[in-house]
Amino acid sequence: MSDDAVYAPKYVRIMEALRRRIKDGTYPVGEPIPSEAMLGREFGASRPTVVRALNEMQLLGELQREHGRGTFVKAPPSSRASDSSRPGLAVLDRQETSASVRVLEVDRRPAPNSVAMLLGLAESAPVHLRRYVGLYESIASELVSLWAPLDVARAAGLDQEGPLAVPVRELLTAGTKERLTRVDERLRARRPTDQERESLSLAEGEPVLSVLGSVVDSSGRAVLVVDLVLPGSLHVLEDSFPL
């Protein structure tokens, strides 16, 4: 440890130690780090000092703190990662408002075959559907359909009418007591249905990008299907990845 590090504030020294352990694989991505009490004993620090270090790292996107469950290592973002390259993930972390969404439907529906397969259910099994139009500067920019098993929807509060003040990721984690670990997405370009054309106010002949994603929790269960329909004239999906 350098002389400068020795005289750094204790919460900074805790952050540096945790970063070294994350980098060398001592604390793998997605796994919990030691509790606040354990870190306090190790570093001879008070609880407020440990909490400050963990909160700072959460704000920087290095850790994810979950009430009642602990603190987990987050995967580092790619150098150019953005919501535009991961539309299903963006839906999970969105805080809905009356200005950003127009809720169309909150009800029980038979699962379409594609949704039933992703959720591991029989075709036409009853599931919960939450559908809304996402708005950007009052323009309909996406049609979002969230399909969830009935028990998950009830536990997470996805059956609420109106915009959800808490992001879907947090509702699912709190309701099911499991962390969300993966989103698998499938993207294709196609012609819109009549309902999609009307909901998104599409011009005649305008294509859409369809994103169908399944959200899997730490138990391996698919707890949500995100069905996104994006007007082709309004969206560009881009990504960056190592070779």
What is the tens place of the pLDDT at every residue in 141-188?
899 999 999 999 999 999 988 899 888 988 998 889 888 888 888 989
Q: At what angle do helices 10-23 and 47-59 cross, to 10 degrees?
A: 50
Residue 213, strand partner residues: 185, 226
Residue with more model confidence, 237 or 146 = 146
| 73, 107, 131 - which closes a domain | 73
The pLDDT score that the predictor gives to residue 1 is 45
Run of H or E residues at 222: strand 222-231
Among candidate residues 23, 39, 73, the one where a domain is terminated: 73
Residue % of the chain over a pLDDT of 70 = 89
Domain count, the chain: 2
Give yes or no: residues 216 and 164 share one domain.
Answer: yes
| DSSP letter assigned to residue 139 | E
Domain that holds residue 61: 3-73
- Asked whether residue 38 falls in the same domain as residue 153, the answer is no
Is the residue at 243 inside a domain?
Answer: no
Q: Is residue 238 part of a domain?
A: no
**Triad 108, 177, 93: Cα angle to 5°:** 70
Same domain for 58 and 40, yes or no, is yes
Residues 6+ apart with CB under 8 A from 144: 91, 101, 131, 132, 133, 134, 226, 227, 228
Read off the CATH number of the domain in which 44 is found: 1.10.10.10
Residues 98 and 51 in one domain: no
For residues 138 and 157, membership in a common domain is answered with: yes
Residues 88 and 197 in one domain: yes
Q: Is the domain of 115 the same as that of 226?
A: yes
Q: Whole-angstrom Cα distance, residue 64 to residue 57?
A: 8
Identify whether residues 127 and 180 lie together within a single domain: yes
Verify that 59 and 103 share a domain, yes or no: no
Query: Do 30 and 141 belong to one domain?
Result: no
Domain membership flag for residue 240: no
pTM of this prediction exceeds 0.85 = no
Torsion of CA 63, 34, 25, 178, to 10 degrees: -60
SS3 assignment, position 228:
strand
Answer yes or no: is pLDDT of 219 > 70.
Answer: yes
Residue 40 belongs to a domain: yes
pLDDT band at 95 (very low <50, low <70, confident <90, very high): confident
C-beta separation of 121 from 99 below 8 A: no
- What is the three-class DSSP state of 26? coil
**Tokens representing residue 53 in the block:** 């270090």
* Backbone torsion region of residue 27, taken as left when φ is above 0, otherwise alpha when ψ lies between -120 and 50, otherwise beta: beta
